[in-house]
Amino acid sequence: MKIESVLIIDDDQILADTLIRAFVRRDIICCSASTMAAALQQAKVFKPSHALIDLKLNSESGLDVVKALYELDPEINIVVLTGYASLKTAVNAIKLGARQYLAKPAKIDAIIKALTGLDEVSTQLETPDVTPKNALKTIESEHIQQVLNESGYNISEAARRLGLHRRTLARKLAKKHIL
């Protein structure tokens, strides 16, 4: 199925802008919203063929957005993209109208494949290595990402808030290919 237009619903404006640039490079029309109200307004005006929805939107649930968009237009192809993937939320998202469910981080090719390969409902959940060491790394990585986001991606400010030296934070980010 060809992607004609995409509505990106994510409260991380940097990620939304990055996704928009990636879609535009592929000649796909898109717009974004960061709240449920804005998403519904955009959907009524923009009438997208596809929607990419983050599961957690500040104080709102992406699942509520999935339900509302599906009720507004049952033909819209919805993909949930989340950093908080779980089987329970995947099942809930599918029940509410999503066609695909992807765990972050996801490359643009995987996102496009999910958006275009909507002939059957599926979830793309990787089974994480849940050893205590890897669980701590995941928690640390998510915390660093949250602090970076809150500090506007200012490395010095994020390092101060995390109680790390700026160079230590930069090394951690370089290992994760964030910088």
Domains and CATH numbers, the chain: 5-124 (3.40.50.2300), 132-175 (1.10.10)
* Predicted pLDDT at 28: 92
pLDDT-derived band at 169, boundaries 50, 70, 90: confident
In the prediction, which pLDDT does 165 show? 87
Per-residue pLDDT reduced to its tens digit, 59-114:
889 999 999 999 999 999 999 988 877 788 888 888 999 988 888 778 888 888 88
Q: Would you state the pLDDT for residue 132?
A: 45
Two tokens, residue 52:
């990419």
Confidence of residue 33 (pLDDT cuts 50, 70, 90): very high
- Cβ 44 vs Cβ 37: under 8 Å: no
Q: How far apart are CA 53 and CA 33, in angstroms?
A: 10
Residue 62 near residue 84 (C-beta atoms within 8 A): no
pLDDT at residue 126, rounded to an integer: 44
Q: What percent of the chain has pLDDT over 70?
A: 84
pLDDT at residue 178, rounded to an integer: 52
- Say how far apart CA 34 and CA 54 lie, in whole Å: 9
Confidence of residue 136 (pLDDT cuts 50, 70, 90): low
Distance (Å, whole) CA 63 – CA 68:
9
Read off the pLDDT of each residue in 122-138 and give the average, rounded to a whole number. 48
Q: Return the pLDDT at 121.
A: 45
**Closest by CA position to 80, among listed 52, 111, 119:** 52
Report CA torsion sign: 146, 134, 109, 45: negative
Q: Give the span between the Cα atoms of 7 and 70, in whole angstroms.
A: 13
Q: Which of 5-9, 27-31, 126-130 has the lowest mean pLDDT?
A: 126-130
Give the model's pLDDT for residue 143.
73
Q: pLDDT at residue 5 above 90?
A: yes
Q: Which residue has the higher pLDDT, 144 or 122?
A: 144
pLDDT of residue 123: 47
Side-chain half-sphere CA neighbours of 109 within 13 A: 0
pLDDT score for 127: 42
**Pairwise CA distance, residues 121 & 44, whole Å:** 25
Q: Do 87 and 60 form a contact (C-beta atoms < 8 A)?
A: no
